[in-house]
Structure 1
Amino acid sequence: MNGIGIDVSKRRLDVGTSDGQTLQVSNDPAGFAELDLWLRERPSNQIVLEATGGYEQPVLDFLHKAGHPVVRANALRARKLAQGLGQRAKTDRLDAYALAQMATLVKLPAYQPLEPWQQKLREFVRARRQMIQALAVARQQQEMVGDRELRRLLQANITHLKTLVKRLGNQIAEQLAQQPQLTVLKSMKGVGPVVQAVLASYLPELGHISGKAIASLVGVAPMSHDSGTMRGKRSIHGGRAEIRQVLYMAGMSALQHEPRIRDFYRSLRARGKEAKVAIVAVMRKMLVILNARVRDAQSGPIPA
Structure 2
Amino acid sequence: MKIIKQSVSADISKDKFDACFSVLTSEHRVVVKASHRFANSAPGLAAFHKWISKWEDASVELVVIMEATGVYYEHLAWAMHQQGRKVHVVLANRAKKYFQSLGYKSKNDRLDAKALAHMGAERNLDPWQPLSKQLYLLRKLTLRA
Choose 1 or 2 for highest CA Rg.
1
CA displacement 1:248-291 (0-9 Å, x = unmatched): xxxxxxxxxxxxxxxxxxxxxxxxxxxxxxxxxxxxxxxxxxxx
1:88 is aligned, of 93, 105, 108, to 105
- In 1, distance between residues paired with 2:53 and 2:82? 14
* Partner of residue 27, structure 2: none
Equivalent residue number for residue 51 of structure 2: 38
TM-score by length of 2: 0.79
The CA deviation string for residues 176-195 of structure 1, in whole angstroms up to 9 with x for no partner, is xxxxxxxxxxxxxxxxxxxx
Counterparts of 1:101 and 1:56, CA distance in 2: 18
**After superposition, where does 1:79-158 map in structure 2 within 5 Å?**
79-123=96-140, 127=143
Structure 2, unaligned stretches of length 5 or more?
23-30
Q: CA deviation at 1:17?
A: 2.4
Equivalent in 60, 64, 89 of residue 47 of structure 1: 64
1:10 matched to 2:41? The reply is no
CA contact (8 A) 1:5 1:17 kept: yes
Q: Deviations over 1:98-150 (max 9, x none)?
A: 100110122122121222212134446x75xxxxxxxxxxxxxxxxxxxxxxx
Partners of 2:46 and 2:84 in 1: how far apart? Answer: 13
Q: CA deviation at 1:63?
A: 1.4
Q: Does the Cα contact within 8 Å between 1:52 and 1:75 map onto a contact in 2? A: yes
Q: C-alpha separation between the residues in 2 aligned to 1:40 and 1:67?
A: 14
Q: Could you tell me how far 1:62 is from its partner in structure 2?
A: 1.2
8 A Cα contact 1:4 1:47, kept in partner: yes
- Quick one: distance in 1 between partners of 2:85 and 2:54? 12
Is 1:26 the counterpart of 2:12? The answer is no
Q: 1:162-216 CA deviation, whole Å, 9 max, x = no partner? A: xx9xxxxxxxxxxxxxxxxxxxxxxxxxxxxxxxxxxxxxxxxxxxxxxxxxxxx
Q: 8 Å contact 1:50–1:78 — kept in the other structure?
A: yes
Code of the residue aligned with 1:88 in structure 2: it is: K
Query: Corresponding residue for 1:156?
Result: none
Question: Residue 90 of structure 1 aligns to a residue in which SS?
Answer: coil
SS in 1 for 2:55: coil
1:113 corresponds to which letter in structure 2?
A: P
Percent pairwise identity: 31
Aligned equivalents of 1:64, 1:82: Cα separation in 2? 25
Normalized per residue, which structure has more strand? 2
Number of residue-to-residue matches in the alignment: 127
Q: CA separation in 1, counterparts of 2:7 and 2:97?
A: 18
**TM-aligned CA distance change 1:109 to 1:122, over 3 Å:** farther
SS in 1 for 2:131: coil
Residue identity opposite 1:11 in structure 2: D
How many angstroms does 1:76 deviate by? 0.7
Q: 1:12 touches 1:27 (CA, 8 Å); kept in 2?
A: yes
Q: 1:23 & 1:7 partners in 2: Cα distance?
A: 11
Q: Does 1:66 align with 2:83?
A: yes
Shift of the 100–13 alpha-carbon distance from structure 1 to 2, 3 Å rule, reads: same
| Superposition pairs of residues 1-304 of structure 1, within 5 angstroms | 1-18=5-22, 19-20=31-32, 21-43=34-56, 44-123=61-140, 127=143
- Contact 1:2 / 1:42 at 8 angstroms: preserved in 2? no
